[in-house]
Amino acid sequence: MKPKGTKNSFTSPVINEMSLKLPSLSVNEGMARAAIAAFCSQLDPLPVEIADIKCAVSEAVTNCIVHGYKERVGTIYITVKLCNEGIVRIEIKDKGCGIEDVRQARQPLYTTDAENERSGMGFTVMESFCDKVRVYSKCGKGTTVTLFKKLQGK
């Protein structure tokens, strides 16, 4: 274990906060990432950082639709917090089926849905484009993915 404080703990005070609630329909994926990108623009991110955020959000929202609410339409809950020191915290939550083995789900190329041409790269993309990704999941209860991104030069 690393002693506390050696790694960015992403706990700066919140400047602004937005909540979004949307039905888990794939047609809403574009809106979700565009809305979050627009909200984050308050912190004046670089174009590449906005692109990272959009892509990571797209992965998390797609997971809620494809895996969380596999057979039905449920609600996706998104909270975005803009914090001091250019820290963005995005929480994306579903009340769907949950993930049995989070560690396995996060492995590159692992997918439970190969026949629909899922690449199994969702979590890998999120991890590569964010500074930290936290996944909390409970079978039958749902999954919460929190994306942390520190904007450079802030």
Partner 1 sequence: MAKNNCNLQVNCENGILTAKLCGELDHHGAVAVRTLIDAEMTRCKPQKTVLELSELDFMDSSGLGLIMGRYALAQRMGGEFSVSRPNERILKIFKLAGLERIVKLEGVVCEKNKKERRKANETKGN
- Footprint of partner 1 on this chain (CB under 8 A)? 26-27, 29-30, 48, 51, 54-55, 58-59, 62, 65-66, 108-109, 116-122, 124-125, 128
Q: Which is nearer to partner 1, 83 or 147 (CB)?
A: 147
59 is catalytic: yes
In whole angstroms, the minimum distance from the beta carbon of 57 to partner 1 comes to 9
In whole angstroms, the minimum distance from the beta carbon of 6 to partner 1 comes to 27
In whole angstroms, the minimum distance from the beta carbon of 2 to partner 1 comes to 26
28 is catalytic: no
Q: Which is nearer to partner 1, 11 or 104 (CB)?
A: 104
118 is catalytic: yes
The 3-class secondary structure across the chain, one letter per residue, is CCCCCCCCCCCCCEEEEEEEEEECCHHHHHHHHHHHHHHHHHHCCCHHHHHHHHHHHHHHHHHHHHHHCCCCCCEEEEEEEEEHHHEEEEEEEECCCCCCCHHHHCCCCCCCCHHHCCCCCHHHHHHHHCCEEEEEEECCCEEEEEEEEECCCC
Please identify every residue annotated as catalytic.
Answer: 59, 63, 118
